[in-house]
Amino acid sequence: MSNSYFEFKQFVICHDKCAMKVGTDGVLLGAWTEVESGVRRLLDIGTGSGLIAIMLAQKCGAEIVGIDIDSDAAKQAQSNADISPWKERIQVFQADVRSFAPKDSFDLIVCNPPFFTESLLCPDRKRNEARHNDSLPFDVLIHKASEWLSNNGLFNVILPAKNPDMFIQCAWESDLNLYRKCLVSSKPNLAPKRILLSFRKGPAPYPASESLVVRNVDGTYTDEYKRLTKDYYLYF
């Protein structure tokens, strides 16, 4: 994306200082995440530009915290929050998930994590941190999410659809039980490319699979994707 910013219906995201720009994965996770009544505190791990944190601020009245290991991204996320209608409820910190020490638990935690493990590294260190899970191993992410969640809280992520079983198993071992899942395909009749997962801290019935197709065969957005994201995208 060549623009230094992305305009939504109620806010603007500048992302020229961030390694990873506004993209479909982040929008999907922010739009798909349900904020249950009673949620007081919310955490966005690896917040990047602050996109998901700000999307969720539009949905609820919770106090929202974002953290990112990259200082430039954290500064830009806070700047984006400060020009949003919900600036008084969003705080962003430059922090590594391993050393971050919140003063209180969270009722909802979201993360669009780096998930490349075998692809070649590019020369850009910040882009590597944003894309490769060496900087945020899944077992560390899951352990910290379980540690920081309140009882019955939710932990939501978006991952490659190819093989989420190890992530689900690791979450289960940390008392995070799969609560919702949605397979996302880019077009009809194509294998799912992403999977949205929601885990509850504590007992939860195993969910049926949801599914979502982003674009029609002709490249236009599907009605189901428009319904999911209509509160955000300018042109829906």
Closest by Cα among 1, 19, 31, 67 to 236: 31
Residue 74 CB-half CA count within 13 A: 15
Contact 53, 92 (CB under 8 A): yes
pLDDT of residue 61: 97
How far, in Å, CA of 62 to CA of 224, rounded? Answer: 27
Report how far apart the first and last C-alpha atoms of the chain are (Å, whole number).
19
User: Which of 25-34, 43-52, 96-105, 132-141 has the lowest average pLDDT?
Assistant: 132-141
What is the spatial distance between Cα 171 and Cα 117, in angstroms, rounded to a whole number?
19
Task: Find out whether 15 and 6 touch, Cβ atoms under 8 Å.
Answer: yes
Residue 87 falls inside a structural domain: yes
CA 67/CA 124 separation, integer angstroms: 21
- Residue 94, CB half-sphere, CA atoms under 13 Å: how many? 8
pLDDT band at 132 (very low <50, low <70, confident <90, very high): very low
Which domain covers residue 140, as residue numbers? 5-229
- Name the DSSP letter for residue 22: S
Evaluate whether residue 200 is within a structural domain.
yes
Q: Is residue 168 part of a domain?
A: yes
Residues in the chain: 236
3-class DSSP assignment, residue 83: coil
**What confidence tier does 203 reach under pLDDT thresholds 50, 70, 90?**
very high
Mean pLDDT score across all residues of the chain: 91
The whole-number average pLDDT for the span 170-192 is 97
Give the residue with greater pLDDT, 174 vs 131.
174
Q: What is the pLDDT of residue 103?
A: 92
- Whether the pLDDT of residue 129 is over 80: the answer is no
Whether 224 maps to a domain, the answer reads yes
Q: Look at residue 234 and tell me if it is in a domain.
A: no
Confirm whether 235 is domain-assigned. Answer: no
Number of domains the chain is built from: 1
- pLDDT exceeds cutoff 50 at 121: no
Q: What is the CATH number of the domain that holds 145?
A: 3.40.50.150
As a whole number, mean pLDDT of residues 82-107 equals 97
